[in-house]
Chain A
């Protein structure tokens, strides 16, 4: 699945309204960014790992789709380790680099936090079908249809842009202008893609308008987007993980409020 090919499964997680997934992921993230300590992030991550089993992804798919998070987490950690606020015993220093007790704690907390926020977001979203998300945002959140459906239609054009980009690259070689510096070449090609995408976009807008899009009529929705027990349960689970993480962190004295 990607933004280009729709996905819709039969598992429970596939059928949950994407709006609930969005809400649960945002809720968890909102609580976890309030503190930088390793306990809250570790608790949240542990609970999430149990839930991932229920998501029904194979290990391979799970690792492949979340690869970016697994790469991002340690790299932010290492940066914090080397440049984070120094305190306590110093173990190694080199120029601006200082590895201390404090920076080790921060590094661990940051790494776990990126995982605890990133992994559930990815897992929830690889099971989201863009059309379902648009339906949810339009019918449940009541965002303007113009905005939601415009975005959805634009998403579908990504595939065309990829093909355009490829063709532009070949055409530039054929036109004799592909020998220069790489950056400049990419800049020019990006501009050409922008021109093409605006043209495609305006054609699409005409096609949509020709089908009554934007007409001053109350729009109906062909697919219903419902919000029920399943959706509230997911948000509840997210809330429970957040509360549990905060409670354990506070009670063990590790809570470290970022605004304090």
Chain B
């Protein structure tokens, strides 16, 4: 029998189930007992490190064998070991880029069907149905590299739907998407759930997105087991405060930071542009005639649609990308004797002048431990050992990284990586801080910490330029907003929305 022919939802049974990754002392999941009935729609919550992803990976049968880790208790999908149920379980992961497998949309959706042995004619019928269900209205020959983040996630969803799984698992499917992408994916999932009987489990720390699509919320405890389990309204009411403290965005719970009125104008200018044209690569101008000013102790937020050139503008202001035309001018106070063109500064000269926090923290890690990572900048500046250690220790504590000082930066969680990437830049105390989507994919707790930290820096006189899609973040820190509309935006999302 074809696995794909299974209709209806799958059940899940966990009895005292636990999993420990090999080489770790701590169990990622332990003492988990629960029963999920066929067709239930579940939002899975829990503090970071409570093993939500591990559980989903286990249900999808992709945790690996005995070399990858150790198992306790039993976990069953439709009464069978999850590993044997391939094709019965569909898993969509967080990172849109790492899930695209083939070069064309149709081929990519067909990939799962091929692997589980669906006959050719049947495959293409399923591909059509799946693309229609997720609302991805592009030809099957469309190149997958030309899709936006939201479209890639819907493609991944179509790819697993075509396998007709009885259990549909989404692991933070919208964490890496801008608001338009989030909306697209949510609408797709809503349509899918209306058309199938599949059992559905989603992990997401922004509850608002999924609240109305699920009928049960399960909260995993940080120390194992189930913390809460019930209808969304009951669980959110009973656990709202605890969930908020553990980083979950609970609807109706606003951030606790005081309102910050935008700063009055009149601060001296630190950096300005003069008929600036920006280009990511030579000859590929994305926006031009940009004239802006970044005053001291002020936050300038760069906003605008996808592909308009926000990141390109930020990196150009940061002295990392060469202007395609026009100039970026550093004031005498910022340049401090290094000349007025930031792109001409030496790498070392940038450190105390402009610090850049990249969208993907992994791009900026250059050392083997968190402590060494923080020391890279101060060492390049030639600070004395005593001063260097004081700065590093201070930052470790301030950004709650002290218990991770000897850990490899790449092994940190998303929130920890973000905090470390900000800390590495603060270590050299730059006068201007440039951040690219600093709150992207962050939980509530990290979000509040970043906002509070940036406000402290502003009060201490640091200027900030930040690119953001996050309206709450913009409202919380912006003194000024600069909207990049671009010309010939790479992805026109409005065109694909109904």
CB pair A175 B123 closer than 8 Å? no
Hey, what's the 0/1 contact readout for B347-384 against A, CB within 8 Å counting as 1? 11011001110101011111000000000110011000
> B358 is contacted by which of A5, A159, A171, A223 (Cβ under 8 Å)?
A171
Rounded to whole angstroms, the CA-CA distance of A214 and B117 in the bound complex is 11
Hey, what's the 0/1 contact readout for A216-234 against B, CB within 8 Å counting as 1? 0111111110000000000
Interface pick from A36-44, A63-71, A196-204, A251-259: A196-204
> A223 is contacted by which of B93, B107, B115 (Cβ under 8 Å)?
B107
> A177 is contacted by which of B123, B159, B380 (Cβ under 8 Å)?
B380
B377 to chain A, nearest CB (A): 5
B91 interfacial by beta-carbon distance below 8 Å: yes
CB pair A207 B112 closer than 8 Å? no
Hey, what's the 0/1 contact readout for B236-251 against A, CB within 8 Å counting as 1? 0000000000000000
B308 to chain A, nearest CB (A): 18
CB pair A174 B350 closer than 8 Å? yes
Given the known inter-chain contacts A177-B366, A212-B86, A220-B120, please indicate yes or no for A159 contacting B114, CB distance below 8 A: no
Given the known inter-chain contacts A130-B103, A156-B102, A174-B356, please indicate yes or no for A207 contacting B377, CB distance below 8 A: no
Inter-chain CB contacts under 8 Å: number: 169
Given the known inter-chain contacts A6-B103, A156-B102, please indicate yes or no for A192 contacting B366, CB distance below 8 A: yes
CB pair A211 B111 closer than 8 Å? yes
B99 interfacial by beta-carbon distance below 8 Å: yes
A254 to chain B, nearest CB (A): 46
> B363 is contacted by which of A164, A179, A215, A218 (Cβ under 8 Å)?
A164
A5 to chain B, nearest CB (A): 6
CB pair A220 B101 closer than 8 Å? no
CB pair A210 B91 closer than 8 Å? yes
B156 interfacial by beta-carbon distance below 8 Å: yes
Rounded to whole angstroms, the CA-CA distance of A213 and B117 in the bound complex is 11
A167 to chain B, nearest CB (A): 4
CB pair B360 A167 closer than 8 Å? yes
CB pair A156 B163 closer than 8 Å? no
B60 interfacial by beta-carbon distance below 8 Å: yes
CB pair A177 B376 closer than 8 Å? yes
CB pair A217 B350 closer than 8 Å? no
CB pair B117 A220 closer than 8 Å? yes
Measured between beta carbons, the chain A residues less than 8 angstroms from B111 are 208, 211, 213, 222
Measured between beta carbons, the chain A residues less than 8 angstroms from B95 are 203
A170 interfacial by beta-carbon distance below 8 Å: yes
**Total chain A interface residues with beta-carbon distance under 8 A:** 51
Given the known inter-chain contacts A131-B103, A156-B103, A211-B163, please indicate yes or no for A203 contacting B98, CB distance below 8 A: yes
Hey, what's the 0/1 contact readout for B86-114 against A, CB within 8 Å counting as 1? 11011101010111111110110011111
A173 interfacial by beta-carbon distance below 8 Å: yes
B320 interfacial by beta-carbon distance below 8 Å: yes
CB pair A222 B115 closer than 8 Å? no
Hey, what's the 0/1 contact readout for A168-206 against B, CB within 8 Å counting as 1? 101111111111000000001000100110011001101
B442 interfacial by beta-carbon distance below 8 Å: no
CB pair B117 A207 closer than 8 Å? no
Which residue on B lies nearest to A195, using beta carbons? B410
CB pair B348 A222 closer than 8 Å? no
Rounded to whole angstroms, the CA-CA distance of A217 and B115 in the bound complex is 7
Rounded to whole angstroms, the CA-CA distance of A113 and B101 in the bound complex is 39
Which residue on B lies nearest to A224, using beta carbons? B120
A210 to chain B, nearest CB (A): 4
A153 interfacial by beta-carbon distance below 8 Å: yes
Rounded to whole angstroms, the CA-CA distance of A169 and B315 in the bound complex is 12
Which residue on B lies nearest to A129, using beta carbons? B103
CB pair A222 B124 closer than 8 Å? yes
A8 interfacial by beta-carbon distance below 8 Å: yes
A207 to chain B, nearest CB (A): 4
A160 interfacial by beta-carbon distance below 8 Å: yes
Measured between beta carbons, the chain B residues less than 8 angstroms from A199 are 362, 410
CB pair A217 B101 closer than 8 Å? no
CB pair A215 B116 closer than 8 Å? yes
Rounded to whole angstroms, the CA-CA distance of A23 and B106 in the bound complex is 28
> B98 is contacted by which of A5, A175, A200, A209 (Cβ under 8 Å)?
A200
CB pair A176 B348 closer than 8 Å? yes
A143 interfacial by beta-carbon distance below 8 Å: no
Measured between beta carbons, the chain A residues less than 8 angstroms from B428 are 176
A4 interfacial by beta-carbon distance below 8 Å: yes
A75 to chain B, nearest CB (A): 28
B424 interfacial by beta-carbon distance below 8 Å: yes
Hey, what's the 0/1 contact readout for B51-95 against A, CB within 8 Å counting as 1? 000000100111000000000000000000000001101110101
CB pair A210 B347 closer than 8 Å? no
Given the known inter-chain contacts A131-B102, A211-B159, please indicate yes or no for A220 contacting B118, CB distance below 8 A: yes
Measured between beta carbons, the chain B residues less than 8 angstroms from A200 are 97-98
B145 interfacial by beta-carbon distance below 8 Å: yes
Which residue of B111, B160, B346, B363 has the most chain A CB atoms within 10 A of its CB atom? B363
Which residue on B lies nearest to A174, using beta carbons? B356
> A176 is contacted by which of B89, B350, B362 (Cβ under 8 Å)?
B350
Measured between beta carbons, the chain A residues less than 8 angstroms from B119 are 220
Which residue of A8, A173, A177 has the most chain B CB atoms within 10 A of its CB atom? A173
B321 interfacial by beta-carbon distance below 8 Å: yes
Rounded to whole angstroms, the CA-CA distance of A64 and B376 in the bound complex is 44
> A167 is contacted by which of B112, B363, B376, B425 (Cβ under 8 Å)?
B363
Interface residues of B in 299-356 (CB under 8 A from A): 315, 318, 320-321, 346-348, 350-351, 354-356
B100 to chain A, nearest CB (A): 7
CB pair B101 A207 closer than 8 Å? yes
Give 18 pairs: A residue, B residue, CB < 8 Å, sorted on A: A5-B145, A8-B141, A131-B107, A153-B101, A170-B315, A174-B347, A174-B425, A178-B347, A179-B347, A199-B410, A203-B99, A206-B57, A207-B156, A210-B160, A211-B111, A220-B119, A220-B123, A224-B120
- A residues at B contact (CB < 8 Å): 4-6, 8, 130-131, 152-153, 156, 159-160, 164, 166-168, 170-179, 188, 192, 195-196, 199-200, 203-204, 206-215, 217-224
The 9 closest A-B pairs by CB, nearest first: A212-B115, A211-B112, A178-B347, A203-B98, A222-B110, A176-B380, A171-B364, A174-B356, A210-B91
Q: Apart from A171-B356, A203-B93, A213-B115, what are 20 other A-B pairs with CB-CB below 8 Å?
A: A5-B145, A6-B104, A167-B358, A170-B356, A174-B350, A175-B347, A175-B366, A176-B348, A176-B350, A176-B380, A177-B366, A179-B346, A196-B363, A203-B95, A204-B101, A207-B101, A207-B156, A209-B62, A211-B115, A215-B87
